[in-house]
Amino acid sequence: MQQKKQQAIIDEIAKAAKNSEFSQDIYTLIYIISEKDKQIHKLKKENNFFLKKWDQHNILEEQKDKTKDKIIEQQSRLAAMGEMIDAVAHQWKQPLNAISMLIDMLKSDFKAGDVDDAYIEELESTAQMQIDHMVTTLAEFRNFLRPSTKNESFFLHSVLANVLVLMKDELIAQNVHIDANFEHEVKIFGNKNEFKHLFLNLFNNSIDAFNENDIRHRTISVTIYDENKKIYIEVEDNAGGIPESVIHDIFKPNVTTKKEGKGTGIGLYMSEQIVRKNNGSINVHNSQKGAFFTIILPFPTK
């Protein structure tokens, strides 16, 4: 429509120029304007074509990013599952050994004639305590692996307690002490399992760093508090810190400080994704002791 209007104006100018002494100049000018107009029209068409292609490219890239994030999330979950299976194996080894010893003692004491009602009650109580420990571990393991998109209000100290149940024997075997500091109970709104995953990632990274740097006295400090309508989670270890060459990229996928074959570089990337999903931020710096992670979350609105 715009092009037709422009052509009508040009025709009017051409008619008026017929008897003018400048008619040739005017016709030349009209020709130049017409050619420029055609070029502009062509450029607009090409521009629209490229814009459409660009939009298609962006859509494809966005789809690729979503696919990549899903793959990384799945890899992270599989890695966490492997770590949890190891944790459960550690957790069950001690009570199974204890129950096996109780059975051997029962056989020996029965032959010696030392078995009476009091003996059986004590043995039953000891065995039940070990079984309860195994059941608790299994329940926590199943809860951790159960896929859930449900968000709810919960206390962060209870999530930390759940993780410590899962990692109890692993922490003992690795000689790691968890120093938990709470001014008071802090409630948050989110996905419980994701925050279990978050703590597990941070603790496992510290354990790997302890072993890499051959640290003897091992401590992980966890401080949780709220201030100025924000929730803070601070996790610090004494494992010597993160190399400066990678510390600024530590939350990127496939970035790891571990030896080849020892780490995937997914754990901290997924930790950042969990925090960002909850509208928070996570950063790390090296303190005098080791790595110091700070997570800042908004105050719960539900």
Domain assignment present for residue 64? The answer is yes
Domain assignment present for residue 247? The answer is yes
What φ, ψ does residue 226 adopt, rounded to 5°?
A: -120, 145
161 and 293 housed in the same domain = yes
178 and 280 housed in the same domain = yes
Per-residue pLDDT of the chain (302 residues; tens, 9 = 90+): 545 555 555 555 555 555 554 445 555 555 555 665 666 667 667 666 666 666 666 655 666 666 666 666 666 566 666 665 666 666 676 677 778 888 888 888 888 888 888 888 888 888 887 787 777 767 766 666 665 567 889 999 999 988 888 788 788 889 999 999 887 889 999 888 888 888 988 998 899 899 999 999 999 999 999 998 899 999 999 999 998 888 888 888 765 655 544 544 567 887 888 898 889 999 999 999 999 999 999 987 66
Beta carbons of 220 and 235 less than 8 angstroms apart = yes
pLDDT of residue 121: 87
What φ, ψ does residue 251 adopt, rounded to 5°?
A: -95, 0
Domain assignment present for residue 158? The answer is yes
Furthest-apart CA pair in the chain: how many Å?
137
Can you tell me the distance from the alpha carbon of 275 to that of 281, in angstroms, rounded to the nearest whole number?
6
Name the 3-class secondary structure at 237: strand
Closest Cα partner for 237 from 163, 156, 179, 171?
A: 179
DSSP state of 217: S
64 and 170 housed in the same domain = no
Domain assignment present for residue 135? The answer is no
181 and 41 housed in the same domain = no
State how beta strands 176-182 and 281-286 pair: unpaired
Q: Catalogue the E-assigned strands of 141-195.
A: 152-155, 176-182, 187-190
Closest Cα partner for 187 from 146, 139, 140, 151?
A: 151
179 and 282 housed in the same domain = yes
Domain assignment present for residue 187? The answer is yes
Concatenate the DSSP letters of all residues of 264-290 into one string. -S-HHHHHHHHHHHTT-EEEEEE-SSS
160 and 63 housed in the same domain = no
Beta carbons of 82 and 204 less than 8 angstroms apart = no
Beta carbons of 267 and 205 less than 8 angstroms apart = yes
CATH code for the domain of 172: 3.30.565.10
H or E, element range at 222: strand 218-227
SS3 content of the chain, % helix, strand, coil (to 5): 60, 15, 25
Tokens 């930390």 found at: 160
pLDDT of residue 237: 96
State how beta strands 230-237 and 218-227 pair: antiparallel
Query: At which of 38, 70, 102 does a domain end?
Result: 70
pLDDT of residue 124: 86
169 and 266 housed in the same domain = yes
63 and 196 housed in the same domain = no
Which residues lie across from 236 on neighbouring strands? 221, 292
Domain assignment present for residue 239? The answer is yes
Concatenate the DSSP letters of all residues of 107-128 into one string. HHHHHHT---HHHHHHHHHHHH
State how beta strands 176-182 and 218-227 pair: parallel
Beta carbons of 155 and 185 less than 8 angstroms apart = yes
Domain assignment present for residue 284? The answer is yes
Query: At which of 70, 93, 122 does a domain end?
Result: 70
173 and 296 housed in the same domain = yes
Query: At which of 39, 54, 70 does a domain end?
Result: 70
171 and 31 housed in the same domain = no
Domain assignment present for residue 93? The answer is no
pLDDT of residue 105: 85
The number of folded domains in the chain is: 2
Range of the domain at 297: 152-302
Q: Which tokens belong to 22?
A: 């400048």
65 and 161 housed in the same domain = no
Beta carbons of 210 and 237 less than 8 angstroms apart = yes
